[in-house]
Structure 1
């Protein structure tokens, strides 16, 4: 016999007002606060540049960073809440403090401080939540911007585009899916 125990979360206003240190954000995992380090200025600049590209190319609304309530409790509290570096969807991003539902895309700008475990946890959470597109970005040791475009195939992420440096990165539109996306990765840092 199993008991249907309700999941307990963190009230949205408590999450949004949770104190964090310098270069940190507070996410919610299984109803508990988790402190995450964030990158420095190139990291933030890259995220903002990707916001502008998504808005220009997709006609979508994007925010950097974005509070995403991936799993909500019955009382409206947050059981699992992440803060992707970029969240892409529609007009709701302009008016809600925490986006609930499935966004059109998300971006993670990975930093050297991100562990493989953390990266894989977020990838799995985003995939299970139904996120259709995840764009991963990072800076190589040489300072080049690297991009990996991943599409949710249900049981796994499929990388459908990879680009770096000064070569044109192009992802075609998909039927019933996402619009095309094109950018020279290094121009995202305005080189």
Structure 2
């Protein structure tokens, strides 16, 4: 059987069982269950693709791979954080987060390029991560809060799941030599050779 057909089959199985579990086990809003099921669909594909790519890749992680992984981690975290904290619809908090993000990035401006392009981790990188996270989180919330105004935040089990996903995202995107950075490095090499 073609590898892509296998991946699609795994995706649909994850989609069906994920949707059933969400409906049976958790009492969550319909829009949130659709978002989670969609994430399950795409994450299954990416997990299989990353695993296959890692098995074929060799060599050191490139600066492009590090930048790709860390940007991906910041982007996903900035979407999850407002729902975890329940601050999505509070404009004053969103503005404070933007200002705090800009301030943190100004304080750490000399290390920003190192954060995105060096395959290592320093303590000051946490400040850069939080600065980027607060800035994007505030911007996303300001421009989208009117669309999802009924959602004040996740509670109970969905919040615990979201915190777990956030921890996995941080662990798999920020440290040196992560699977995602090696996957991104391999992709850049393939595209560069075309």
Tell me the TM-score normalised to structure 1 length: 0.23
Give the number of the structure with larger relative contact order, counting CA–CA contacts within 8 Å between residues 6 or more apart. Answer: 2
Tell me the TM-score normalised to structure 2 length: 0.23
Question: Comparing both structures, which one devotes a greater share of its residues to strand?
Answer: 1
Question: Comparing both structures, which one devotes a greater share of its residues to helix?
Answer: 2
